[in-house]
């Protein structure tokens, strides 16, 4: 499922970064992707994906 439509970033990709790169925040995520830099509508959902995935590690 695409989380950021503007930059084609999926939940699967975000989960990968949480697990493999230790991403814990939107700020860290934005060092890896331009997610949220256009319309910004994806930021809330991206935060939820980061939070949910980090609970599973």
Of positions 10, 12, 22, 39, contacts ligand FES by CB under 6 A:
39
What angle, rounded to 10 degrees, do the helices at 11-21 and 43-56 form? 50
6 in contact with ligand FES (CB under 6 A): yes
Segment contacting ligand FES (CB under 6 A): 10-18, 19-27, 33-41, 48-56? 33-41
Stretch touching ligand FES by CB under 6 A, among 3-11, 12-20, 25-33, 47-55: 3-11
Contacts of 11 (CB under 8 A, 6+ apart): 1, 2, 3, 49
In this structure, what token pair is assigned to residue 18? 């949480």
3-state class of 53 per DSSP?
helix
Give the binding site for ligand FES (CB under 6 A): 4-7, 35-42
């Amino acid at each position: 499922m695409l989380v950021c439509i503007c930059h084609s970033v999926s939940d699967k990709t975000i989960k990968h970064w949480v697990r493999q790169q230790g991403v814990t925040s939107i700020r860290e995520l934005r060092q890896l992707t331009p997610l949220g830099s256009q319309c910004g509508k994806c930021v809330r959902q991206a935060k939820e994906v980061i939070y949910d995935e980090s609970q599973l590690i």
